[in-house]
Amino acid sequence: MAQSHVVSGLAEKRGELAEQAEHHRRELERLAQELGHLDAAIRLFDPDYRVGRIRTPGRPRRPRFGQGECQRLILEALRDAAGPLSEGALARVLAERTGLETGPAALAELHKTAQGVLRRLAAKGVARAVAAADGARAWERA
C-alpha cells in the first residue's frame, strides 16, 4: 500500500500527457486543413504551381557568437596550436574560450559551426585542411 501514492501520481501524470497529446493531434489536424485550403487557393491562381516545392523557414538561429567572433577564435586557436587541429578539437577550444557548455549536443553544434567557418576560411585561402596522423581531417593556417 505504501506505493499506491506513487502509482496514483504516475496515473495522473499519464492522464495529463494523454490530454496534451490529444490537444496537439487536434491542432495538427487543424493546421493540415489550413494548408489544404491554402494549397487550393494557390492552385486557383496558378493550376501548375507545385506547392510541394515551397520551402519552410528554417529553425531560428541562436547566435552564440558576435559578428566575426567565432572566426577570430578559430584563427587564434590555429595560430596557437603546435600542429593541425581537428574540427572536434576546435569545437572544444571554442567551448573553453567562450565558457559555453561542453555536453555532447552543444559540442556537436559547435562542431558544425566550426566546419562552416573553416570552409569559408579555406575558400579565402586563410586555412587549409590536412590529413591528421589518424587519417582524419585536421586544419591549419595557410
Q: What is the pLDDT of residue 43?
A: 92
Q: What is the pLDDT of residue 52?
A: 83
The C-alpha atoms of residue 128 and residue 142 are separated, in whole angstroms, by 6
Q: At what angle do helices 69-80 and 104-124 cross, to 10 degrees?
A: 80
| 74: its cell numbers | 578559430
Pairing verdict, β 127-131 and 85-86: unpaired
Q: What is the pLDDT of residue 23?
A: 95
Q: What is the pLDDT of residue 67?
A: 87
Based on the fold, state whether residues 93 and 118 are members of the same structural domain.
yes
Q: What is the pLDDT of residue 1?
A: 55
Based on the fold, state whether residues 49 and 76 are members of the same structural domain.
no
* Structural domain contains residue 11: yes
Based on the fold, state whether residues 108 and 47 are members of the same structural domain.
no
Based on the fold, state whether residues 76 and 47 are members of the same structural domain.
no
Based on the fold, state whether residues 39 and 79 are members of the same structural domain.
no
What is the rounded radius of gyration, in angstroms, for the C-alpha atoms of the chain?
A: 25
Q: What is the pLDDT of residue 60?
A: 67
14 torsion bin: left (phi>0), alpha (psi -120 to 50), beta (else): alpha
Structural domain including 12 reads 4-53
Contacts for 142 with CB less than 8 Å, ≥ 6 apart: 122, 125, 126, 127, 128
Domain count, the chain: 2
**For every one of its 142 residues, what pLDDT tens digit does the chain have, with 9 covering 90 and above?**
568 888 999 999 999 999 999 999 999 999 999 999 999 999 999 999 988 888 888 766 666 788 889 999 999 999 998 889 888 889 888 888 888 877 888 888 888 889 999 999 999 999 999 987 777 888 998 8
Based on the fold, state whether residues 38 and 83 are members of the same structural domain.
no
Q: What is the pLDDT of residue 2?
A: 60
